[in-house]
Amino acid sequence: MELSEKQLKLINDIKSANVPEISVLGSVQSGKTFSIDLGMILYASELHKYDNTREFYGAIIGWDLQTIKGNIIEPLRIHLDAFGYRDGKDYELTFGQNDKYFKMWNVKFYFFGFNTKIAFNRILGRPLIFIWVDEAARIYGNLSLQESFDELPRKTSII
């Protein structure tokens, strides 16, 4: 897999310690999501090396669950397959009626839609150390969601 210099920098920022917030701008099909998915796997690996005795939690937020499934989960599967990881053995990827998450090692990333204020309430109160907001401009562009968006924790990695 050949990555551009910008993609490599993004991946390194994601897996690095002490990078509190990352904003990514790019055109459609520029490789942002592809790179973030790969960076997320490497981030989980780094956390596991850092402390494999406790659980860590993250949130992957998209416009709605269908866009998450198409935009994030499908590229994530490509990376996992490329590494030779197997669902159920090396990781768990669940996108069922109630549970929607990706767990690798001791890191569990929950999937959330954010197209309504009610959807945002499902995110509150979780001990999150990683937040990825896909299509943040689309979410923030909705006036009724701006206040909720501004309430997302900022001491984590928001991408």
Query: Which has the closest alpha carbon to 60: 124, 123, 148?
Result: 123
Give the up-direction half-sphere exposure of residue 55: CA atoms within 13 A in the CB hemisphere: 9
Residue 29 pLDDT greater than 80, yes or no: no
Q: Does domain 29-158 have CATH number 3.40.50.300?
A: yes
E strands along 12-99, which residues? 56-62, 91-95
pLDDT of res. 116: 77
> What average pLDDT does range 48-60 have in this prediction?
94
| CB environment 47-67: b (16+ within 10 A), e (fewer) | beeeeeeeebebbbbbbebee
Please report which confidence band the pLDDT of residue 156 belongs to, taking 50, 70 and 90 as the band edges: very low
Is residue 27's pLDDT more than 80? no
Q: Taking all residues of the chain, what is their mean pLDDT, rounded to a whole number?
A: 88
**Residues 93, 101: Cα–Cα separation, whole Å:** 6
Cβ atoms within 10 Å of 84's Cβ, excluding its own: 7
Domain ranges of the chain: 29-158
Contact of 127 with 109, CB cutoff 8 Å: no
